[in-house]
Structures are given as structure tokens and as C-alpha cells.
């Protein structure tokens, strides 16, 4: 689909410097710009690229003043916040890629399921008994939705994802390929022979509205009650969330994070990649946990944590400086010991 600079400026309320009739049909990074593409410049670190880009249109901040001649073929659209406006265009572009409402061949929908308006169900997808699918939902090919599942309006479930029985998916959620929502929690109890006996997991998973779940992430159902991911939480790829965990609103965690059962994570928490949280913990609001940290205790509101075991990030940095100098310190200690022996050997 093609858009002119004039049309784009109208969408983002921008001011055009250059040819208002120039047309673009794709988006690109400014350093990879080509004829017919739309780029943006927000970070001054990338300014050098605007002077040799082949992009046809570039969105820039109102404060941008070129320090070198711009390409003759380049049209600028000036806005208050170039990054935010480009993100708005990406969102607009993404909506244009939305599948047309239809049910493709080989999709199975149980007769007892309730299906909303304007939905897309891809080939070989399965919707189980008594499930409720809202309006404007997109269920891509090879998705499995078990019995008694609720999927809210506007949610997108990408190919190969699985939602087990009784789970609740809110409105405008995104579940990426390979994600598993509602598999059994890791509940086993050893008997007198030392053999593990499975504890039935009879709860469910609840995703509130505007939750994103990354590819191949897994969220286990509760033993009883619910594993809950609160409104606006963002879960990256390859994340494991155990049974009866609660993740607060607008909390985000990066790939390969693992959260053990019954831990409660607060609101607006940021968790780096490969972080491990032990079970039955309470993580406060607005906590920051650096990548590869191992958390074995409760964390109060607003703390910044780092390390394994994790502790205050500023203390960690000071400790790490000492740790890096440890070989030198040990060498100096050995020299002092040798000198002391030399001074005392005749006494």
C-alpha cells in the first residue's frame, strides 16, 4: 500500500519540508533506507546516516537542524516526537496486515462454542467445547484452544500456540507462536518409596487485558485458583512462569526468565533476561532486576537488584570492583607475607 508525504503528515500531525507528493510503500531503518521507503531519526547517534540515506521520506524532531546537505530526493516530516510518531505509523501499518475475517478449511469449532463477530480462524485450528471467542479475534493456523476457554475481543493468537482448558484470555492480548498457556504446574509429592506422585492441577491461567506473551513462553495453571498475569504485562520469548504466580500490571520481563510457583511480582517491575526467581517470594512495585540475577528473597518496593544471589545494585557494583581486583590484592598480600617473614626470620 502506498502513502504520500502529505497523507503521512496528516496521520501524525507533522510539517513537511520537501515534496508533499512523494510516495512510499515500505518502512526501513534510516541506515538501510531505499527509494520508496519511510524512515525516522530520533537518536542523534544515527544523524550521520540521514546525509546519505536513500529513503524517500524521513520523520525527524522539530528541533532537528541539518549540519550537512541532505539528499535532494529526501523529504522531511517534522514532529514533536519522531520516535513516538514512527511507532504510531508502525501500529497503523500493522493493522493493515490484519487477516480478513473468515474461517479457513479444516478449522474445527465445537458446536457448543460461542464465536463473536469479525473473527479469523486459521486452517487446522481447534476450538473446544463451551469456549467463548470474542469479537475481532484472530486465531492463526494450528492453534489449539481447549474447552471452557474465554478469549476477549481483539486478541491475536499466532500459529502453534496452545491454550488449555478453563483459561481466561482478556481483551487485546497477543499470544505468539509456540506459547503454552495453562499446562500443568510442576506439582509432585514423593511417597514412602521415594517415587513422585502427581498432584492434580485443577486451577487455570488468567491473562488480563493488553497482555503480550512471547514465542515459546509457558505459563502454568494453578494447583488451585489462578495463575494471573495482570493488565498490560509484557512477557518476552522463552519465559517460564510457574503455578499460582501473580505478575503485576505493566510489568515486563525479558527472555529466559523463570519464576517459580506462588511468587508474587508487583506492578511496573522490570526484569532482565535470564533472571531466576525462587518460589513463594514477594517482589514489590517498581523493582528493577538486572539480567542473570538470582533472586532468593523478598524485595521491597523501588529496589534495584543485581547479582546471584541478588542484592542492591549499587552495592553489587562496588563489590564487583573489589572482586575484579582480587588477583592483584592476593598478589600484594603474598608479597607482604613474604616481606614479613623476611623481617622476622632472625627473631
**Cα 283 from Cα 256, distance rounded (Å):** 18
**What would you report as the CA-atom Rg of the chain, rounded to the nearest whole angstrom?**
27
- Quick check: is 243 catalytic? yes
Residue of 281, 275, 320, 317 lying closest to 293 (CA atoms): 275
Indicate which residue of 49, 176, 243, 280 is catalytic: 243
Do the bridges between strand 57-61 and strand 75-79 make them parallel or antiparallel, or are there none, so unpaired?
parallel
Listed in sequence order, the DSSP H helices in the chain are 5-12, 47-50, 82-96, 313-324, 326-344
The string of DSSP letters for 218-248 reads EEEPPSSSEEEE-TT-EE-TT-EE-TT-EE-
The residues near 212 (Cβ < 8 Å, ≥ 6 apart) are 173, 174, 176, 233, 234, 235
**Cα 176 from Cα 1, distance rounded (Å):** 26
Proportion of the chain in helix, strand, coil states, percent, rounded to 5: 20, 30, 50
Q: Are 161 and 178 in contact (CB under 8 A)?
A: yes
Instruction: Give the CB-side neighbour count of residue 122, counting CA atoms within 13 A.
Output: 16
Active site (catalytic) residues: 243
Amino acid at each position: 500500500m502506498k502513502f504520500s508525504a502529505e497523507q503521512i503528515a496528516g496521520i501524525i500531525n507533522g510539517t513537511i519540508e520537501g515534496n508533499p507528493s512523494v510516495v512510499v510503500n515500505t518502512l526501513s531503518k534510516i541506515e538501510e533506507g531505499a527509494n520508496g521507503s519511510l524512515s525516522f531519526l530520533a537518536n542523534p547517534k544515527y544523524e550521520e546516516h540521514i546525509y546519505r540515506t536513500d529513503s524517500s521520506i524521513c520523520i525527524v524532531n522539530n528541533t532537528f537542524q541539518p549540519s550537512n546537505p541532505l539528499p535532494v530526493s529526501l523529504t522531511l516530516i517534522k514532529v514533536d516526537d519522531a520516535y513516538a510518531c514512527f511507532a504510531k505509523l508502525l501500529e497503523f501499518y500493522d493493522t493493515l496486515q490484519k487477516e480478513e475475517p473468515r474461517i479457513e478449511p479444516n478449522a474445527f469449532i465445537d458446536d457448543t462454542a460461542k464465536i463473536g463477530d469479525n473473527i479469523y480462524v486459521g486452517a487446522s485450528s481447534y476450538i473446544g467445547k463451551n469456549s467463548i471467542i470474542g469479537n475481532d479475534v484472530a486465531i492463526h493456523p494450528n492453534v489449539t484452544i481447549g474447552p471452557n476457554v474465554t478469549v476477549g475481543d481483539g486478541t491475536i493468537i499466532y500459529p502453534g500456540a496452545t491454550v488449555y482448558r478453563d483459561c481466561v484470555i482478556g481483551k487485546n492480548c497477543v499470544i505468539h507462536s509456540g506459547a503454552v498457556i495453562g499446562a500443568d504446574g510442576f506439582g509432585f509429592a514423593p511417597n514412602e518409596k521415594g517415587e513422585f506422585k502427581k498432584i492434580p492441577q485443577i486451577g487455570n491461567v488468567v491473562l488480563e487485558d493488553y497482555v503480550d506473551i512471547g514465542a515459546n513462553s509457558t505459563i502454568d495453571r494453578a494447583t488451585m485458583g489462578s495463575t494471573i498475569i495482570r493488565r498490560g504485562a509484557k512477557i518476552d520469548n522463552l519465559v517460564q512462569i510457574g503455578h499460582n504466580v501473580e505478575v503485576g500490571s505493566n510489568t515486563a520481563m525479558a527472555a529466559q526468565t523463570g519464576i517459580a510457583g506462588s511468587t508474587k511480582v508487583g506492578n511496573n517491575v522490570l526484569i532482565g533476561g535470564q533472571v531466576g526467581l525462587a518460589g513463594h517470594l514477594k517482589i514489590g512495585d517498581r523493582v528493577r532486576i538486572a539480567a542473570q540475577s538470582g533472586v532468593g528473597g523478598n524485595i521491597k518496593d523501588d529496589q534495584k537488584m543485581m547479582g546471584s544471589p541478588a542484592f542492591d545494585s549499587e552495592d553489587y557494583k562496588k563489590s564487583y570492583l573489589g572482586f575484579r581486583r582480587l588477583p592483584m590484592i592476593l598478589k600484594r598480600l603474598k608479597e607482604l607475607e613474604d616481606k614479613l617473614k623476611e623481617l622476622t626470620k632472625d627473631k
